[in-house]
Structure 1
Amino acid sequence: MTSLDRRTLFAAGALGAAATAATVGAAPASATSGHGHGKGVVPGADRAAADRWKVLRGRKVGVVTNPTGILRNLRSIVDEMHDSGAVDLHAVFGPEHGFRGTAQAGDAEETYTDPRTGVTVYDAYGATADSLTRMVREAGVDTVVFDIQDVGARFYTYVWTMYTAMRAALRAGASFVVLDRPNPIGGTARGPMMTTAFTTGVGAKEIVQAHGMTVGELARFFDGEFLEAEEGRTLGDRLEVVEVSGWRRDTVFADTGLTWVLPSPNMPTPNTALVYPGTCLFEGTNLSEGRGTTAPFELVGAPFVDHRWAERLVARDVPGVAFREAYFNPVVNKHVGKVCGGVQVHVTDPLRLDGPRLGAEMLVAAKALYADFAWRQDSYDPARPFWVDKLTGSPRLREMVDAGAPADEVVGAWREELAAFDRRRKPYLLYRGGRR
């Protein structure tokens, strides 16, 4: 996503997401689970294409996608749909960075006619449910297709892009089809619950910090749990999920055999996604979360941090990761041009890695060691000034860290609500293997 320091906080229904056109090889230099599951993983888009797009036959289709919406041959699903002659393609709805990924951070491609396909591409970045509904109706669409790679964290806004598109489809009387993709960090739910008072564009509804679902499962959850309360009805049978074949809940991206396409400029590798649900919390502090380096969210630090932070974290023996004392000089974002001391987080066991716990451990240690540690405050929201509260879903984590609570106590505070969410999501899950 774009830097949360630079992003304008959009309404809960806003359509905001980032993408780039760059690709890298299948999960390069990424820790694997060692289980060997998933080499035969086939995303929903590939399954639909292999079936000659039968799921969309006879429909007037609009697609919400970006450069992550590719087949295993690395071609855009929109290009494949168009060239197949089997899909009546009426529109593409481009999020932040646009459908082709040509726009810079915090920007979008203006509405235009795509020269490759002749299809109208609507600028849907920042769209509300109302404005996106108007676009769907203007395009004459009766089926909205969603295909964007998520990374499994509540504050990574593609899932709220999807929720807004679901609301728009419902209002326009259209069907909604999700071409599902694996959750790159696996299928286990972790972390604290969003509370209603702290919902924003980086957490529009009450789900936990690492939801442990694919976007197809989340769409089913959103339809069953939220749409009726917000819209007075659900999509019901008009929601379809083309499932991923060969994916299990204990499979991380490095074990899928798929090619990683950067979902956003600061999500360069699958390992970034693994640590992101925890280290993104440093966006709510005066420490750099590694933006402006070649390892965002893996490098964390500040000019006032020294070797003691790494030493304390190593002693904590945090599951699934190892810490290395590191020094870096960000070229953008916080502490530009300054040498930052800190740590690099190295993934050692993806299935034992609990991102929200990782974040809590690192915050507790930093707060205890450094008098210069501070929470970011935003003047535009005086009632809820602390950004970390918006990321974690409530003031609880911040207040516990300030009070000197140990990491085990911070993590224990969300155990009951996490268990309740795990029970609540079970009817909507589609995939098995490992913890459900």
Structure 2
Amino acid sequence: MRTFICAAITVLACITLQPARAASPVREQLASLADALTTARVGMITNPSGCDEQGVLDADILRREHGTNITAFFAPEHGIRGAQAPGASGSDSVDPETSIPVIAIYGKRTAPTPEQMAEIDALVFDMQDVGVRFYTFVWSMTYCMDAATSAGKPFYVVDRPNPIGGLVVEGSPNTTSGGLVGRLPDGAAFGVATRHGMTAGEFARWWNGEALGGRCDLHVIPMTDWHRADLWPANRKFVKPSPSIVSPATTLTYPGTCIFEGSNLSEGRGTEIPFEQAGAPFIKGDAWARVLNALDLPGVRFHATTFTSAGGKFRGQACGGVRIEVTDPETFRPVAMGLHMLKTAQTLYPDQVVVKSYAARLMGVENLHTRLATTTVDELVAEWQPRLEQFKKQRAKYLLYR
């Protein structure tokens, strides 16, 4: 018996001496957030990408492990569960999994109303951005920051990686306000570059400084495991922030291929690799790939392909086109690539390719839809360089990571 007791004590001692398992970086962020929201009624702007490294929804962690009192969800584009189509967030409802009210903030309403703000004590933004101006989530965040500032309520951002890195800044800063694809601070000469190189937390700091004069009671919960040179971290599960951003690879090409939303070419929606390929029924992929590869663009190769989309443009029709292979993310410049892709397609098929005004709005280039046929990509890039350099200097004071 004495031997058994001694052995048991030894085992218990070993168990006791084992170091406690460290919380993951995201859970450390959530613990900091929860500490700040102990007694608050919380409104949360989130979707399934607001999760920890394993894909567990942060809202569930806050409620179950910290007792955070989340009293309302605010649904951005694609809805609180990320299943709505582009341009939709669903109607006001009750979340069936939590019984928490869901209030749509994409469409007629872009932010909580004063009456809704009166029912909460703090707003929290927690979802994955993709580092591109025309991705709507950060603009929904800015509208909510405006509402929080007007109501005198604090605004928290659970910061997340920029999946395309924080070093490269590329593309034209917009000069006209595009709402949910690119607002301008009042009186500003320009907004942000197409590929802005900021995290959501840094973006919030930029909006607070440039648009709100620092009046927002802003609190960014920073990451401890991300640096500017990083892309998507290998230790994080990638949860689609929206239906067509399906993988980290999608985020690399999206800043360029989204331009096809402003044309009659398919950007690959409804296929397994949206935004990593483009085409149309009238395009011969081998000819387009040959012309694009002859440009010798850095960090990328093009492969002839065919695809049939289950949704979006040319649904059910066989499209010829190209598939994009990023060979070197560090030297790859997706914005310039997208312009080259659309221009070469227009040159090859001048009677069939249609470039719409929405392309100009997406890319922040005035009258791009009428100028692309007669202006080289190099000329377009040279035009926006002075503005881009101004933006880089402005942006520098809002950065949080090295």
Range into which the TM-score falls when normalised by the shorter chain: 0.7 to 0.9
Partner residue, 1:429: 399
What is the identity, as a one-letter code, of the residue corresponding to 2:170? R
Establish whether residue 315 from structure 1 lines up as the match of residue 294 from structure 2: yes
Instruction: Report if the CA contact (8 A) 2:34-2:66 is conserved.
Output: no
Instruction: Report if the CA contact (8 A) 1:41-1:258 is conserved.
Output: no
Describe the superposition over 1:344-374 as per-residue Cα deviations: whole angstroms up to 9, x where unpaired: 0111111211121111221222222222343
Distance (Å, rounded) in 2 between the aligned partners of 1:282 and 1:422: 26
Distance (Å, rounded) in 2 between the aligned partners of 1:321 and 1:276: 14
What is the identity, as a one-letter code, of the residue corresponding to 2:208? D
Residue correspondence of structure 1 range 78-227 to structure 2 within 5 A: 78-101=59-82, 103=84, 106-126=87-107, 128=109, 131-137=112-118, 140-187=119-166, 188-196=168-176, 198-205=177-184, 206-227=191-212
Partner residue, 1:26: none
Distance (Å, rounded) in 1 between the aligned partners of 2:379 and 2:37: 50
Distance (Å, rounded) in 1 between the aligned partners of 2:281 and 2:151: 52
Residue 115 of structure 1, CA deviation: 4.8
Tell me whether 212-221 or 339-348 shows the greater mean CA deviation: 339-348
SS class of match (1:395): coil
Residue correspondence of structure 1 range 291-306 to structure 2 within 5 A: 291-306=269-284
Residue correspondence of structure 1 range 218-257 to structure 2 within 5 A: 218-228=203-213, 234-235=215-216, 238-253=217-232, 255-257=233-235
Establish whether residue 73 from structure 1 lines up as the match of residue 54 from structure 2: yes
SS class of match (1:257): coil
* Structure 1 residues 375 and 96: alpha-carbon distance in aligned structure 2, compared to 1, 3 A threshold: same
* Structure 1 residues 42 and 163: alpha-carbon distance in aligned structure 2, compared to 1, 3 A threshold: farther
Residue 304 of structure 1, CA deviation: 2.0
Distance (Å, rounded) in 2 between the aligned partners of 1:338 and 1:79: 42
Distance (Å, rounded) in 2 between the aligned partners of 1:185 and 1:130: 27
Partner residue, 2:361: 390
Residue 156 of structure 1, CA deviation: 0.7
Distance (Å, rounded) in 2 between the aligned partners of 1:104 and 1:284: 17
Distance (Å, rounded) in 2 between the aligned partners of 1:182 and 1:105: 23
Partner residue, 1:37: none
**Correspondence for 1:56 among 28, 37, 46:** 37
Describe the superposition over 1:48-80 as per-residue Cα deviations: whole angstroms up to 9, x where unpaired: 234482132232211110111111232211111
Moved over 4 A (4+): 40-43, 102-107
Residue 107 of structure 1, CA deviation: 4.2
TM-score, normalization: structure 1?
Answer: 0.80
Establish whether residue 282 from structure 1 lines up as the match of residue 260 from structure 2: yes
Distance (Å, rounded) in 1 between the aligned partners of 2:111 and 2:278: 39
Instruction: Report if the CA contact (8 A) 2:55-2:239 is conserved.
Output: no
Partner residue, 2:378: 408
Distance (Å, rounded) in 1 between the aligned partners of 2:41 and 2:149: 15
SS class of match (2:365): coil
* Structure 1 residues 341 and 104: alpha-carbon distance in aligned structure 2, compared to 1, 3 A threshold: closer
Residue 84 of structure 1, CA deviation: 2.3
Partner residue, 1:261: 239
Long gaps (5+) in structure 2: 1-21, 185-190
Long gaps (5+) in structure 1: 1-39, 378-385
Distance (Å, rounded) in 1 between the aligned partners of 2:325 and 2:113: 41
Instruction: Report if the CA contact (8 A) 1:360-1:411 is conserved.
Output: no
**Correspondence for 2:322 among 343, 347, 364:** 343
* Structure 1 residues 321 and 51: alpha-carbon distance in aligned structure 2, compared to 1, 3 A threshold: same
Instruction: Report if the CA contact (8 A) 1:48-1:54 is conserved.
Output: no
Instruction: Report if the CA contact (8 A) 2:280-2:320 is conserved.
Output: yes
Identical-residue share of aligned pairs (%): 39
Distance (Å, rounded) in 2 between the aligned partners of 1:73 and 1:293: 26
What is the identity, as a one-letter code, of the residue corresponding to 1:361? H
Describe the superposition over 1:90-146 as per-residue Cα deviations: whole angstroms up to 9, x where unpaired: 222122333234555554454344454443332333253565333222xx2121000
SS class of match (1:62): strand
Distance (Å, rounded) in 2 between the aligned partners of 1:395 and 1:125: 25
Instruction: Report if the CA contact (8 A) 2:29-2:223 is conserved.
Output: no
Look at both structures and tell me which one has the larger radius of gyration over its CA atoms. Answer: 2
Partner residue, 1:30: none
Partner residue, 1:327: 306
Partner residue, 2:16: none
Instruction: Report if the CA contact (8 A) 1:42-1:246 is conserved.
Output: no
- Root-mean-square deviation (CA), in Å? 2.3
Aligned length: 373
Larger relative contact order (CA 8 Å, sep ≥ 6): 1
Instruction: Report if the CA contact (8 A) 1:281-1:388 is conserved.
Output: yes
Partner residue, 1:272: 250
TM-score, normalization: structure 2?
Answer: 0.86
Residue 41 of structure 1, CA deviation: 12
Establish whether residue 420 from structure 1 lines up as the match of residue 390 from structure 2: yes
Partner residue, 1:363: 342
Instruction: Report if the CA contact (8 A) 2:43-2:123 is conserved.
Output: yes
SS class of match (2:278): strand
Describe the superposition over 1:238-266 as per-residue Cα deviations: whole angstroms up to 9, x where unpaired: 1010011121111111x442110011111
Distance (Å, rounded) in 1 between the aligned partners of 2:85 and 2:192: 30
* Structure 1 residues 171 and 366: alpha-carbon distance in aligned structure 2, compared to 1, 3 A threshold: same
